[in-house]
Structure 1
């Protein structure tokens, strides 16, 4: 099974390449890149770790599969001693005091972080343009957006600057940029990977996940990061997924798709035609394909953003320059708070904070926020019903191809609607994988909770089928 991680591991073990050379080559690519993917390089620490791996190999010691493998980290993860800016003004000089659990597990396995990656500020966006470091450029066409909010992570993988990257997905922020840049991106089941040490956007849907060029690399990284964590009470126990378990498709008999996604007037005709052609190829293998009914995409988007804005308003209320962040003094304490937040948050972040405070305010919370929570429960129930009928749900990742840089900033509503096909699965807390086949922005395959193994198995099947 194709795997960059395994290939590089073998080259290191065979002494065909030194870890220092491997890391140095990737660092040079990151320094020279013109895609705005880098917020900060971790050069000194990366080279120091590489030297330790080389010393182990020289001494004849065994190294682990991930040991010495270079990777990238979306700049919303705490890594002790590194700048963790969330691509924002308010935290542009903030250094982490501790390391996120998911990242620590990778460090413990010997993987080497090279870069904190550019993203939409605090994850607020679907294009990676809402950032103080400049818009991330699409890996395939630099005139287009990279997708968001994990745009820098997706482009670094697509351009081979990193072997894999760790993104964050709240409503599609791994899956959509993976689709825009023609790579794999996984949002696991909510709770499979600890959220401890990630800057919270919407706590009830935030997920840690990998982006990579191969299914096998997704599997390897997922296994390392998964598991319960005493620092995150939402985490769940999970079973390790073996390579053999995802190598054949003898258990997937029925696939479903939401016909209202495909009949939506907003979908690009080419994406629709390519999706339906993919469905026919799946049918031709003998798998049964069922049409499913689901909530309208505008209902999904409004439900998601109602809840996400409320949660982000609450989560970001702590950032006022008092304990940390870029404080701007005013005439009095209230004025200081106001100026600090007004000057240091992006327009998109302020839009979401104001919207969240609105839906949580007296007189609106019952009519808007509580209704959103009720709809989320209905969406989850609908998924439970669907997965009694089908093994996998397949859908386009996005209704349209990537817009030009600048267009999304002019039309925030269009940006929100670009998440129409991803947010529902976030509300359902389901595992969902973007695969780079089927349409211009890939296909999205979704399973029932804790069915990541089924997703990876079906992804291997699609690779050979479409």
Structure 2
């Protein structure tokens, strides 16, 4: 698909459309949509910004590539003076005091925020059903889940309510909903984009990333948000990825895939057959394909959730209604804390907090948590060896197609296992892109650390091949 950002930029510059009309059309679509993607609309701000873009064009001034482009924001990012609820009762009336670095960079580039988007509460879920705003409905089939936790963001892009959206990916929360809704979703190398202003879920794997309808739009937004930030010490300086550089795929000679993923009992025959058919097409293009050994998917899921639950218990300990949040008074301070957290956190959030506190408690931290840290190191080392043999790793995004709304809530374990093919790359802190081709829920393209450009190159190759 062609770049929507380039197309709209040309239309604005040629005065074929006005920015105000474009923004109003998108706002109207968001207001009338029945997919539960909207937590709050930023109507006044968006229209004010659109008028300024129109005034610049009217005066004959140049506008930047992202200037006037409407986008959505997952409701876990701070945007000053807007409601930032994390789709939770605890923060349903909370207004941001500042703006996240990644979002500020987009504002500085002239992009126009339209909406704070529905998601699993605090990012806890893989279906966008754990939310006070109602389950997000799939863009293709509204009986199915939208995926999670960035479900609202993916559906808004798929339905053309936003040109792109900013999701958050901890264990697959951009890639999985992108796959479920047939759009592109990118989790960059950990540290490429600042996490400052993103509500922390699991700090060691949280990533900011774009969801869009083409690799070119992913590239544009990625460049705008990337870079070192003094407010996030895990960030690093990164070079701009040019449009020309990702068109040259001659550097990609070898692709690998994990035997354990494809031979697993968990994968559906539909996903398996279409993935192997894709591998045959890649071989036919003269690229060598290697079969790799890896950890069992159950091991990846258990390692990820061990660490993620421990980190979320720590990160959410600050939310007790004292400094911010929906405080519920009890008979004493301890009672107030207990009632506030019990009544305001979702069942899934409480499950993760209780599990995390158990993992970090005396007698369990050495037995389980430290083993999880050791396994993560082994997983990262395994990836380093694999990328000495192959340039790119290809995998299904999910082992199965999206479940019906309600099914995941009845079976939390099944929901965790739906992340089986995404969490390993999060533990390795690797750049990974979902492309809506190759299987019913797309393909996952992964590169070695900092090889984000190579991932986009191979995505362009697959676009032309499949």
Q: TM-score band, normalised by the shorter chain?
A: over 0.9
| 1:299-378 alignment runs, 5 A limit | 299-378=299-378
| 1:401-416 alignment runs, 5 A limit | 401-416=401-416
- Match of 2:433, SS state, is strand
In 2, the alpha carbon distance for the partners of 1:250 and 1:2 equals 22
- Match of 2:115, SS state, is strand
Counterpart residue number, 2:277: 277
1:343 Cα deviation from its structure 2 partner? 0.1
Counterpart residue number, 2:142: 142
1:2 Cα deviation from its structure 2 partner? 1.9
1:280 Cα deviation from its structure 2 partner? 0.3
1:50 Cα deviation from its structure 2 partner? 0.2
In 1, the alpha carbon distance for the partners of 2:137 and 2:213 equals 18
Counterpart residue number, 2:226: 226
| 1:31-180 alignment runs, 5 A limit | 31-180=31-180
1:302 Cα deviation from its structure 2 partner? 0.2
Aligned residue pair count: 466
User: Deviations 1:121-154 (Å, cap 9, x if unpaired)?
Assistant: 0000000000000000000000000000000000
Counterpart residue number, 1:286: 286
1:249 Cα deviation from its structure 2 partner? 1.2
1:73 Cα deviation from its structure 2 partner? 0.1
Counterpart residue number, 1:184: 184
In 1, the alpha carbon distance for the partners of 2:249 and 2:95 equals 46
In 1, the alpha carbon distance for the partners of 2:248 and 2:159 equals 29
User: Deviations 1:15-44 (Å, cap 9, x if unpaired)?
Assistant: 000000000000000000000000000000
In 1, the alpha carbon distance for the partners of 2:257 and 2:393 equals 5
In 2, the alpha carbon distance for the partners of 1:266 and 1:218 equals 31
In 2, the alpha carbon distance for the partners of 1:461 and 1:188 equals 19
- Match of 2:393, SS state, is strand
In 1, the alpha carbon distance for the partners of 2:164 and 2:105 equals 15
In 1, the alpha carbon distance for the partners of 2:423 and 2:412 equals 16
In 1, the alpha carbon distance for the partners of 2:400 and 2:381 equals 28
User: Deviations 1:195-241 (Å, cap 9, x if unpaired)?
Assistant: 00000000000000000001100000000000000000000111100
- Match of 1:387, SS state, is helix
- Match of 1:186, SS state, is strand
- Match of 2:389, SS state, is coil
User: Deviations 1:296-331 (Å, cap 9, x if unpaired)?
Assistant: 000000000000000000000000000000000000
- Match of 2:177, SS state, is helix
Q: Extract structure 1 runs of 4+ deviating beyond 4 A.
A: none
Counterpart residue number, 1:432: 432
In 2, the alpha carbon distance for the partners of 1:194 and 1:231 equals 8
Counterpart residue number, 1:2: 2
Counterpart residue number, 2:197: 197
In 2, the alpha carbon distance for the partners of 1:294 and 1:113 equals 41
- Match of 1:198, SS state, is coil
1:46 Cα deviation from its structure 2 partner? 0.2
Question: Unaligned stretches of 5+ in structure 2?
Answer: none
1:248 Cα deviation from its structure 2 partner? 2.4
More deviation in 246-255 or 221-230?
Answer: 246-255
1:64 Cα deviation from its structure 2 partner? 0.3
In 2, the alpha carbon distance for the partners of 1:6 and 1:271 equals 33
Counterpart residue number, 1:386: 386
In 2, the alpha carbon distance for the partners of 1:193 and 1:348 equals 28
User: Deviations 1:424-466 (Å, cap 9, x if unpaired)?
Assistant: 0000000000000000000000000111110111001001111
In 1, the alpha carbon distance for the partners of 2:228 and 2:127 equals 32
Counterpart residue number, 1:258: 258
Structure-1-length-normalised TM-score: 1.00
Counterpart residue number, 1:297: 297
- Match of 1:309, SS state, is helix
In 2, the alpha carbon distance for the partners of 1:283 and 1:370 equals 41
1:408 Cα deviation from its structure 2 partner? 0.1
In 1, the alpha carbon distance for the partners of 2:266 and 2:378 equals 24
In 2, the alpha carbon distance for the partners of 1:387 and 1:248 equals 20
- Match of 1:388, SS state, is helix
In 1, the alpha carbon distance for the partners of 2:81 and 2:206 equals 24
